[in-house]
Structure 1
Amino acid sequence: MATAMFQKLRLTKQTSQPSRKDSILPSSPVGPPSAASLLGLPPELRNAIYECLARDTALTLALKPRRSKRPHPICGLLLASKQIYSEFRPLLLASARISIPIADFDFGTVIRAVEAISQDDLRALAANRRFYLTLFMAHAPKQTDLEGLAAWLGYRAEAEQEKDAPPTDQVPLHTLRFRYDAKIDPARSMVSRRNMRVALLTALIRKIAALGGQKNHTVEKRRMMRDLYRCKDELMGVERRADGELEKDIALTASTIDSPFFGFQGSSGVPVGGY
């Protein structure tokens, strides 16, 4: 099921399509492509066109069935022909901005989908540096949310250990580099909704920092915190001049998670965090 969902690439927004009169695709699928058609161009020119289109495309991979009877439109060029599909799809997966929505911090669907997709798709996605997991939240993280986050970070830490394993023909899962952003829709409040969004995002960052304590700052955990800090900066209108400033804030958050002013101690003695 996950494989089928990954095969249905959906556009985030409907893009304007050229009219039939202006289309550069061949008017008839029968016979060899003409010189004026896309398939009539040299392969290097076709790849250049594919890459330009892929970079300007935003895709949403909905891993759960949509309630709406109107699905997102499929990326049209994939439907042009089998040859264009086979040529364009790898470049699309490697270059487009791809987003997977995550509700209630449930990463299970992502794990199942990633483990079920083909090696060719996995290889293309491993080259993508705009592969986002979008976290939806409307309240401060609950205990169940923290459990979902901890399970995901543990899964990614196990994948990271594959770097030391003997090489195989399979694409290692640790080569997938996920990015993170957040869509925050707080409940109605007397205070500014912008301030509430900043407060909820700050709470989430601190909860993530507290997971496992200071000594458990894995690569994925630091990437998640770094990307969410950037979301927070965007909300606050802050523009950082250097990445070093961001790293200092991350280090400061990590160094204060054991502070009594930060939160409270759980039953196991591990700081739970707060804001």
Structure 2
Amino acid sequence: MARRPHDHYVVLARGDAARAAETLGQATGADRVVGVSCDLGSLADVNRAAGMVTAGVDAGRLPPLGGFLGNAGVVFLTTDTRTADGYEATFAINVLAHQLLIRLLMPRFVAPAWVVLTTSDSHFGQFRYTLGATPPPRWAAPAELATPRHGGPQAAGRAYATSKLGTIYLTHALARRLPPGVGAHSYNPALVAGTDFFRAAPQPLRAVMQGFFRLQLALGRGMTAERAGRRLAETILAGMPGPSGGYVDRGRAVPSSPESYDEGREEELWREGARLCG
């Protein structure tokens, strides 16, 4: 994406964002890439990062926002991992932090613009999507999902699938609220190998999961990180297919799970998510 001439990009990263932006600029020849550090595990840091972006737009150092790609996601081995705010980390990072960040940036979007949030086909909760590696989602009140609780790998996998269902609910709620000409889509990259996604796991389990991912890659059920990233970028640059609020599976607009269409849950998430984010 950064190789496109005349575009300006902001890289939000938990670590050394300035270095990440510099590396991206050197690799692509882009000279308008800005880094802003942002730890999605801290709502205060999300507020700070969003404030830096909006201040840059208001001062003319950055152009009005034309797009937002939320590509961050985590999975843990337990459901008692806490963020800086005391929330269950999977739901807080994958859903609440993105909701807060986009809400704070919304007034700076200028049409035509887009918001894309990466989700997962694990939200279907069916064997043909997960091969039994992830339990099906189990939705509950947002305050309950944000509460740390005792649970091992099985519960943690369910929390991940549930958070990805929440990402689709958030996308639908956003589509009803974004300014005209600004669309929202959820995007499923499917199984992606080679991302160190299970870095929180002990080495033996991490090796098993990485082996499982490589096997699926060999069987044609997944993609390398490079290929998946290219597919995502090409889809965005070509114009997201389907109407705002839609679900895009590796570049194709398709229906998400029947459970993912629930306006009552979507509005509850929007309302209660705002309260949880302060």
How high is the TM-score relative to the length of structure 1?
A: 0.37
- Greater RCO (Cα-Cα under 8 Å, separation 6 or more): 2
How high is the TM-score relative to the length of structure 2?
A: 0.37
Instruction: Tell which structure's C-alpha radius of gyration is larger.
Output: 1
